[in-house]
Structure 1
Amino acid sequence: MSWDRFVVLHTRVEADLARSLQRGHGLGLSEYRALAELAKASGGELRMQELAVALGLNQSSVTRLVARLEEAGLTRRDLCPDDRRGVYSVITDEGRAHLADAVPTYERSLAAALEQADADPALKPLVAMVRDS
């Protein structure tokens, strides 16, 4: 079934990305993706709920994730000026620099993982679809 092959491809690629980012930059894959989402957001900030949706995480998971990023100095929290109940996660200059250092590792690791998966005849059509999109 195509879905099962997609899950295999996804799992392999995610594992390779996670290992490379952790080894090279001390970042988990979710942490990398959070920094990437924040970096491309207007003003470098997102409400916690927006970040949770963008990452596909629940509220408690994104709260723990942001706490780790804050502890590392890569993000900070800010209160919404219009609604004091709203909390934003904001990427710091250090977070932007750390992300910029990690992007080449992410891209190289992704390319290598897709190249390796392309050698598997069962995954080759899926890899072609991913590369074409």
Structure 2
Amino acid sequence: MRGIRGAITVGENNKEEIWQAARILVAQILRRNRVKTEDIGAAIFSATEDLTAAFPSTGARCLPGFDAVPLFDARQCAIDGSMDHCIRVLLLVDTTRKQSEIQHVYMGRAQALRPDLRSF
């Protein structure tokens, strides 16, 4: 099992925008890592304190095959100076890929969280 991380930012605390961002982020992680939904053990989402309009997992639940994936939402720690309007995800995935072969996905302003990763 491997963990695949990702993050994305939204412009506003809006239900549709939060759901759309979660779907885009998860879809990119799945595509870049060639992951099938049946290989996902769980998806753990977190959102910053300023995102209160919706659960990110509700957006991901609409993706094909995600009706059977265990999803969990949490509140991101409120740290002074941390990025706002940010959704993060950790997918726990059954894979034979090495840790160095995993592509973590950071989109929008969230790319600044992992400047060591190459942007696509």
TM-score normalised per structure 1 = 0.29
Larger radius of gyration: 1
User: Which is helix-richer, 1 or 2?
Assistant: 1
User: Which is strand-richer, 1 or 2?
Assistant: 2
